[in-house]
Structures are given as C-alpha cells and as structure tokens.
Amino acid sequence: MRQALRDGLICAAATAAGALPVLAVRRLPQTLADGLMGFGAGVMLAATAFSLIVPSLQAAKDQGYGGLGAGGLVSVGICLGVAMMLTMDRVIPHAHLDQQGQTTRVGGLHQWLPPQVTLFVLAITLHNIPEGMAVGVASGSGMANAEPFSLAIALQDIPEGLVIALSLATAGVRRGRAVLIGAASGLVEPLGAVVAAVAVGAFSTLLPWGLAFAAGAMLFAVSHEVIPESHRNGHETLATIGLTLGFCLMMVMDTGLG
C-alpha cells in the first residue's frame, strides 16, 4: 500500500509540475498541445497492453486457466472496466471546453450542473481515475515492472497537467488559480492507487481481474477522452505522430526496464 501511495503521489506531482509553466507561459501553440495529448494517449495505450493486459493473461494462466479461459476472463474484466467508466461518464456531471471556452458536452444530472470550470475539472478527474487504479494494481500485485510503469504514467501526466492549466487560463481563469486547479486534478490518482492496491493485495485471486479491470478503464479513457480531445482542433496527424512516439517509448520502457 505504501508503494501504491508513493507511486500515486509521484503521478500527482507530475501533473502539478506540468501545470507550473502556465505561470510564465500565456498560451501553448494548439498544435503542440494536441501533439502532447496524442503522446499521452500513446503512453496509456502501451501501458494498457504491455503492463496490464499481458500480465493479466499470465496471472490467469498461473491460476490454472487455459488459453481460452484466460482470454475470456481478461475480456470480461476489460468490459467491466469500460462499463464502470461509462457509468461514471453518464452519471457524473462534466463537460469539455472548446477553443472559445464554451461548454461542448455535458453528461448526466443536468439539473445540478456546477459552473463551467468545475465541469471541465470533473472531466479531467474522470479520466485520471483509471491511471491511479492501474498504478495501484501494479504496485499491489508486486509486478516486476511496477516502477517503470508508474514512471511512464507520471511522464504522460506532465503534458496533461500543462494542457489542463492552459485550457483553464485560456477560458479566462486566472493563471495562478489555473495552476492550482491543474495540480489538484491529479490528486485522485494516489487515492485510486491505494484503493486498488488494497483490493488486489487482500485478495490475490483478484489479480487478473484487477489488471484487466484497470486495462478496460484505461482503454475507455484513451478512446473516449484523450484521443477525441487531441483531434478536436484538426491536428489529427500530429496527434497520431505523438501517439506513436508515446506508444513506442512506453513499450521500450516496459520491455527494457521491467
């Protein structure tokens, strides 16, 4: 649990570090911002594949499942993770900001919608949850590559924190407040990490399920939140290049440092 808390706090600190430059930089070129978002998506995709799904399949086989059984178990776990995130996406009020700082999408509970900035932060927090869960599962299960995996998640949190704070500043939030909100958006990660680590540590048979569940949540976040945001301003090619570089970097870290 201590390792999960430590790794979760490192990820939160990386988000905060990414937000700090907004105190000096008024605006990041949108092309660069979208490329960085794509890079983060690539890191998360590779982490999902090599640090969550592959170990989940192996853990299921170690528990006596055959090839088909392990694949079926992991598939169900992935689907459960996606279902959890989809439910949260529909229930928790949240929104995205367009280039003019206007709300572009709102989900759930319309009659109790908080202010626009709060909605945007909720959207970011929503897709930070699976990152914290994944870090906690990796730490709680004692995976050999838990440290490089957590470092890779922290690495993609840096541009994420920058993009969050810059988006808020562009929407009219004071730069100091934008940095604080961007930093605070990562605090859900150590919480999610500790909860996931305790669950997996207490019930070792949950390891393949926990890994697959976290993988499903990460897949949802990448497909539903990160990639659409990186494509929203018409910079799909640059975002795809960033995604490819992020994927390759995480793959090398996972295979070379694990």
Cα separation, 167 vs 234, in Å, equals 17
Please give the chain's pLDDT, 258 residues, in tens: 778 888 888 888 988 888 888 888 766 677 887 888 788 788 778 878 887 898 889 889 988 999 999 999 999 999 998 998 888 777 765 555 555 545 455 454 444 333 445 555 565 666 677 778 778 777 776 666 677 777 777 877 787 777 777 767 766 677 888 888 888 878 888 888 888 788 766 666 777 888 888 888 888 878 887 788 788 888 899 999 999 998 998 788 767 655
- Enter the DSSP assignment of 50: I
Helix (H/G/I), strand (E/B), else coil: 106: strand
Q: Are 136 and 197 in contact (CB under 8 A)?
A: yes
pLDDT of res. 141 = 66
Residue 196: other Cβ atoms inside 10 A: 30
Q: Are 184 and 62 in contact (CB under 8 A)?
A: no
Backbone angles phi, psi at 142, to 5 degrees: 70, 30
Q: Are 103 and 119 in contact (CB under 8 A)?
A: yes
Helix (H/G/I), strand (E/B), else coil: 144: coil
Residue 42: other Cβ atoms inside 10 A: 27
Q: Are 178 and 169 in contact (CB under 8 A)?
A: yes
Cα separation, 163 vs 19, in Å, equals 8
pLDDT of res. 111 = 40
pLDDT of res. 57 = 93
For tokens 């730490």, name the residue: 139
CA pseudo-torsion sign 243, 146, 56, 197: negative
Token pair, residue 80, equals 């459960």
241: Cβ contacts below 8 Å, ≥ 6 apart? 35, 38
Cα separation, 38 vs 35, in Å, equals 5
Cα separation, 97 vs 130, in Å, equals 22
pTM of this prediction? 0.68
* Residue 123, amino acid: A
* Residue 148, amino acid: P
